[in-house]
Structure 1
Amino acid sequence: MRRLFLPTLVVALLQTGPISQAVGGAVPKYPVDALPAALRENAHAVVRNEEETFTVKSAARTVATMRRAVTILDEAGADYATELVYYDQLNTVSYLRGTVYNPAGLVVRQLRAADIRDYSLSDGISLANDGRGRAADLRQPTYPYTVEFEYEVVSNNPLFYSTWHPQPREQLAVESSSFRVITPVDMPLRYQEQRLPEGSAVVHTQEGLTHVYQWQVHDLPALEEENDAPPITEQTPAVLTAPTAFEVQGHRGTLTSWQTLGQWTYDLNAGRDELPPAIKARIVALVQGETDERARIRKVYEFLQANTRYISIQLGIGGWQTFPASSVAANGYGDCKALTNYCKALLQAADVTAYCALVRADEPDIRTQFPSSQFNHVILCVPLAKSAKPDTVWLECTSQTTAFNYMGGFTGNRHALLLTPAGGKLIRTPRYGVAENRRERRADVYVDAQGNATATIRTLRTGLEQDDFSMLFHNLAPAEQKKRVADVLPFANFNITKFALVPGTSATVPSMVENLGLTLPNFAPPSGKRVFMSANLLSRWSSLPAAVGERRADIWLDNAFAYSDTIRIHVPAGLKPESLPTPVKLTTAFGSYSSQIQTLPDGTLQYVRQLRMPVTRFARTEYSGYVEFRRKISAADKAQVVFVKTDS
């Protein structure tokens, strides 16, 4: 079962009183001094004991119970003294209990029913969302102390089985954690073990008419965060589980492959793409005379964006079954399923065949070798059947501003489950690599005799590099856009004299142009007869610390990219360059880097920096080489131009 931590807002609303006295008997439990020193090292908290049991009652019903005791060592571990248990129309919380123990292991407080708060977990954009949470806060003012929570959730949504992550965060040690799954003999468990310590593999037994699967881990030391590492849940032990058969509100399915999961989802939504005749007629008229298939798709997509908006509707089976296309046509809104289904229907009216696709958005890619429900979003895949060259158009149907045929960092570079009449099929969404993700900057810097400067800067960003700036442009007023940009400028003293974000005209991926004017007081103050100035205006990279001991995690970089900076430096006649940085050129497995500065015929200095990082994953054994690559870049980026005064 996934561990849910209280949102900041919920925590702020839960104010528990101070601890004053022991409650009940004096039998110690979880004394802090019994903790081995190895588990305290680098830890903010230690899981003393965790027992999770997941019982499959039938294809339509499961019961999950949790008992978890955590010793909180300091303020940074205080979140572990809170618990948020999710429930909705398909999930019911049977009970939620909690106990606080002092350092000696004596009970000092027990959670009362009046202490448990009930909250709507609406995301703020849902028209209807039955998600709620029961929240408890047992944080204490002094450390250390131990909290123990117990709860049970009965679910009529067995499409999702538990995933066991006994060590879900850095700086969290684990003394003991166990996971048990009980299933009927005719419903064998599907599971995948990941990174389990030696001796922790499944113990599988049969007890009467049930199968019992059990895992245990002990004495896992806290892990520290490492630079450029994957999420901690990709590094620590885990067991994924999934059903072979399930039933959600009368809709039965099997989950033995991606094909069967896709078939259930496709059948659940079949026949819900009928459009009103008036809308059909509008689409036919919209594309009339347009022979190019891609152009017809674009016209339909722009119609969708102009006439609908995204509003989430999550009630019961509505998490998987779309509202009919006729409902979206009448109301002008829908969730991701409904808007994608509606766009599919509009394209069908335009004589274009499209398929809905499930995807896990804004998170790491799914585990492709373990068919299971790992998705949280729906997009549209449109094969170009009539194109001379095989190609595919992808559409994000929930956004009124996302560019045509662009998935971005939200859903690009990952797998999706295509929903077809023949069932599900895993395919890849578009890849955005070094050719698409570019940042090209040109700047002119004018320095006066007192060392003050002005700068005009034009930055073109494309592909994933422009995603954040596109969000700024479409969601914030210009004044707020300017403030956000100012917050990340690397100058101690500056004023923005000009600012504008403008969508670019890149043909293959969207782009954004940022025009910036700056005044930079005291940018290069004179030091006697000399002036020292960094030619690298905005693109300095920092070095990384060497690994302490053996590197644990592989190197995971966010995205491949290419950066280019051309900076022209204009100085008054009384300054002449005395010393220029040595040109640097690096070619490594991690990428390539070059920087050089030269004097142009008119006396202007021109600095050119190029950085290409085409690969994003490296083995942990390569970390020392990566650190050296970053160190050399950092040193080159800090190199200064030295000017000398000639008019004194």
Structure 2
Amino acid sequence: MRILLLSLIFTTVVNAQTNYSVSSIDGPLKENANAVVRLDETIVEITAKNKMQVTNHRVITILKKAGENSIKPYAFYSPNTKITNILALVYNDQGEEIEKIKKKDFYDISAVDGGTLYGDSRVKVFRYTPTSYPYTVDFTYTYTTPNTAFLPRWMPIDDYMVSVEKSSFNMKIIESLQWRKKEKNFKDYDIINNSSKSVISYEMNQIPAQKKEALSPSFYYYEPQLMIALNEFHLEGVDGYAKDWESMGNWQFKSLLADRDQLPEHTVRLITEKLSGITDREEKIKKIYEYVQNNTRYISVQLGIGGWQPIAAEEVDRVKYGDCKGLTNYTKALLKSQGIESYYSVVHAGKSKLGMEKDFAIMQGNHVILNVPNQENDIWLECTSQKIPFGFLGDFTDDRDVLVIKPSGGEIKHTHKYLNDNNLQKTVGEMVVTDTGGITANLEIETYGIQYDKHAEVLSMSEKDKNDYYTEYWNNINGLSIGETIFDHDKNNIKLTEKITLSAQSYVTKMGNDLLFKPNAFNANKYVPNRYSDRKLSFEIDRGYTDNDEIDIKLPINYKLGKLPSPVIITSEFGNYEMSLEKISENQLRYKRKIQLKSGLYDKSKYDGYRDFRKKIKKYDNTKIVLSKIPQGQPTKHLK
């Protein structure tokens, strides 16, 4: 009887809306929109802490190709999460059905990447290639799962440039279970709340698309979200309890980490011998970290509870591989064997710097790193990389709140920030300008912080890829030819030095007998953000940085300099800029430039000021100098 009832609900949901013609969409919803969500409905029923059913019904009209990312044509499953119904329908712009994609027509593929050794997650995906725009996709599926540690979130607006006709969320929870919720970014929207003690019900209608503006923060920081968590839950055969971060960490330590840090005696002896004579605590931590880097490799394991529980340290020691969980736990165990306490820490990894919800404990995160308390300057270790320097995180896990799991419970800590002057690039070198308009140069580029993180990618490139990388890096120089490249990778100081020789046949512009060239050949900033007559959103300088450039320029001896521009100093709340050209001799200049950009979230009222700052930088970075040809018969002054 229950199966028949669920089937009836599924059929009703699929056929609840019949008019999907594009003409039926209100005009304001089409403005600034790549896609319009006609209906986004989530129905959740939790009948026990280990029993949940979810139906997702999503109808979306794709107005143009850029909107196709919002289709979300997939449904994940695993041995414990089973898809019971799935169907996709496609309609043309008149709302007429043109294709039906049944369960047998879905592609069934692994949901884990090539670096995963073990993984049981899979995904059903449908593919539709449109012959014209607009068109509409109606996608419905139902799944059942015993896993209630992660409950569906209500996120009624997809992204910038997507409008919404209707979005609803309904969750029924058996009365014996306690639950918590958090409403985030609700204040700017008209949201209908029909919730009761055991039913959570929200609805949102007629939301126009928000146009994306230059430097807009991630949509995640604006979008309304409803988060729900059970105090008692289930995860892949393991029961859990959490009402705050302390209890969440306590459960994870006892249920997922305890007794998984045992090591063979011979390994403990080996590490003890390697640290013999070392008295400095930080040096011991570094040696153990380097041991892990040199003796293990990263392979993901996503099998059942193994998706959340680390492989035992003893097993990692035996096979010499592990995923982020296993390698972090292994490093933790090695440190513990030497009397050094450290903590397994769960993080949202990725360049968008998402952090844990500090005031709402919920299963979160997609990666694990290690926290080593070190007075006021904690050490953070990325244990999956064989190349990353000791104590360096990079833009994958820096500057965000993470869950640090201690035996006593969980604690939210913030990872290291790389701010402004920490992200330093120093470029020094010599450039020779030829009388035929070409240049040759020897450069030395030092990078630190996040700038180091970006430049260090070149270390693992092939010769061809290196050449392509530098050609693109200096794409302002036509006909660029890269010569010798030498790298000095100082992992102790987290610094990369690149020594590069290069040449180009026609960098300088000829004007009759004169030459016109830009002294800033190697770090000219061209970016100026778009102009808006009525900006709607705040703007963000995501990562500040500092660049220092000093280039000595040798000029052809049969040319003379015109008047040099005066030094430039610009000071603003967004950063500072300095530029100068100094005449060293008749045929030699010294170009100096410094730019500092300050990270931060700024009010929209300051946008025009920031744009003006960037316009000035572009102007002065584009400074040109005229070299006048000395007539034949006149004496020339040679370089000293």
- TM-score, normalization by structure 2: 0.92
- Which of 330, 339, 354 is residue 365 of structure 1 equivalent to? 354
Give the one of 444, 450, 458 matched to 2:444: 458
Aligned CA distance change for structure 1 residues 547 and 164 (closer, same or farther; 3 Å): farther
Cα RMSD, aligned residues only? 2.1
1:547 Cα deviation from its structure 2 partner: 4.2
Paired residue for 1:241, among 228, 231, 250? 228
Q: Equivalent residue for 2:454?
A: 468
Q: Report matched runs for 1:181-220 at 5 Å.
A: 181-196=171-186, 197-200=188-191, 202-206=193-197, 211-220=198-207
The structural deviation recorded for 1:641 is: 1.1
Q: Does 1:160 align with 2:150?
A: yes
Deviation at 1:32, TM superposition (A): 1.2
Query: What SS does structure 2 have at the residue aligned with 1:204?
Result: coil
Deviations 1:492-550 (A, max 9, x none): 2211112233313663xx11111221111111132123211111112222343454343
Question: Which residue, 199, 204, 210 being the options, matches 1:223?
Answer: 210
Q: Secondary structure of 1:435's match?
A: helix
Alignment of 1:34-113 (within 5 A): 34-81=24-71, 83-113=73-103
CA contact (8 A) 1:89 1:315 kept: no
Q: Following TM superposition, by how much is the alpha carbon of 1:201 offset from its aligned partner in structure 2, in angstroms?
A: 5.1
Aligned-partner Cα distance in 2 for 1:621–1:55: 46
Of the three residues 469, 483, 492, the one matched with 1:484 is 469
Per-residue deviation at 1:346?
Answer: 1.0
Q: Any idea what the Cα deviations from partners look like across 1:162-185, whole Å, max 9, x if unmatched? A: 222222223211111112222122
Aligned match of 1:446: 432
Q: Taking every aligned residue pair, what percent have the same amino acid on both sides?
A: 29
- One-letter amino acid matched to 2:472: D
Q: Summarize deviations over 1:550-592 as a string: whole Å, max 9, x none.
A: 3233222221211111122111112111132332211111111
Cα deviation per residue 1:134-156 (whole Å; 9 max; x = unaligned)? 01123421222211000112222
Q: CA offsets, 1:30-73, max 9 Å, x none?
A: 12111112111222211111111222222122222111111122
With over 3 angstroms needed to count, the CA separation of the structure-2 counterparts of 1:391 and 1:631, relative to structure 1, is closer
Alignment of 1:166-315 (within 5 A): 166-196=156-186, 197-200=188-191, 202-206=193-197, 211-268=198-255, 269-315=257-303
Change (3 A) 1:525 1:139: closer
Contact 2:579–2:592, Cα closer than 8 Å, also in 1? yes
**Aligned residue number for residue 582 of structure 2:** 598
CA distance in structure 1 between the aligned counterparts of 2:439 and 2:422, rounded to whole angstroms: 33
Say which is worse superposed, 522-531 or 314-323, in terms of deviation.
Answer: 522-531
> Contact conserved, 2:389 with 2:491, CA < 8 A, in 1?
no
Cα distance between partner residues in 2 of 1:307 and 1:53:
48
Of stretches 389-398 and 33-42 in structure 1, the one that deviates more from structure 2 is: 389-398
Aligned equivalents of 2:251 and 2:244: distance in 1?
Answer: 11
> Following the alignment from structure 1 to structure 2, what is the Cα–Cα distance between the partners of residues 163 and 359?
19
| 1:334 equivalenced with 2:319 (yes/no) | no
Q: How many residues align?
A: 613
TM-superposition CA deviations, 1:304-362 (whole Å, max 9, x none): 11111111101111122111111011100111111111111111222222221111111
- Maintained 8 Å contact 1:579/1:643: no
Name the structure 1 match of 2:331.
343
Runs of 4+ in structure 1 deviating by more than 6 angstroms, as ranges, are none
- The TM-score normalised by the length of structure 1 is 0.90
- Which secondary structure state, in structure 2, belongs to the residue aligned with residue 205 of structure 1? coil
Structure 2 Cα separation of the partners of residues 212 and 478 of structure 1? 61
Encode CA deviations 1:113-153: one digit per residue, 9 max, x unaligned: 33211001221101101111101123421222211000112
Shift of 1:242: 2.2
Task: For residue 244 of structure 1, report the CA deviation from its aligned partner.
Answer: 2.1
Correspondent of 1:503 among 489, 502, 508: 489
Among residues 409, 425, 434, which one is paired with 1:423 in the alignment?
409
- 8 Å CA contact 2:561–2:586 kept in 1: the answer is no
- 2:638 counterpart residue number: none
Cα gap change, 1:619 to 1:331, in 2 (>3 Å)? same
CA gap 1:288/1:201 in 2 versus in 1, 3 angstroms: farther
How far, CA to CA, are the matches of 2:18 and 2:204 in structure 1?
24
* 3-state SS of 1:410 partner: coil
Q: Give, as a single letter, the amino acid of the residue that structure 2 aligns with 1:309.
A: R
C-alpha distance in 2, partners of 1:198/1:112? 36
Are the equivalent residues in 2 in contact too, given 1:82–1:137 (CA < 8 A)?
Answer: no
Q: Distance in 1 between matches of 2:51 and 2:595?
A: 54
Partner of residue 114 from structure 2, selected from 110, 120, 124: 124
Matches of 1:75 and 1:418, distance apart in 2: 42
Q: CA deviation at 1:81?
A: 5.0
d(CA) in 2 for partners of 1:130, 1:621: 50
* Equivalent residue number for residue 635 of structure 1: 619
Contact preservation (8 Å) 1:81, 1:137 = no
Which residue of structure 1 aligns with residue 7 of structure 2? none
Residues in 1 aligned to 2:72 and 2:380: alpha-carbon distance in whole angstroms: 41
- Residues 1:360 and 1:458: Cα distance change in structure 2 (over 3 Å): same
Partner of 2:387: 401
The letter for the 2-side match of 1:255 is A
TM-superposed CA distance for 1:600, in Å, is 1.1
Aligned to 1:564, the other structure's residue is in SS state strand
More displaced 10-residue stretch of structure 1: 457-466 or 480-489: 480-489
Q: Distance in 1 between matches of 2:286 and 2:18?
A: 69
- Change in 2 beyond 3 A, CA 1:192/1:608: same
SS in 1 for 2:191: coil
Cα offsets for 1:263-322 (capped at 9, x unmatched): 111112101111111111111111122211111111111111111111110111112211
State the alpha-carbon separation in 1 of the partners of residues 380 and 435 from structure 2. 55
- Three-state SS of the structure 1 residue aligned to 2:395 is helix
Deviates more, 1:245-254 or 1:632-641: 245-254
Q: Give the counterpart letter for 1:484 in structure 2.
A: Y
Report deviation, 1:627.
Answer: 0.8
Equivalent position SS for 2:306: helix
Unpaired runs of 5+ residues, structure 1, are 1-24
Q: Secondary structure at the match of 1:137?
A: coil
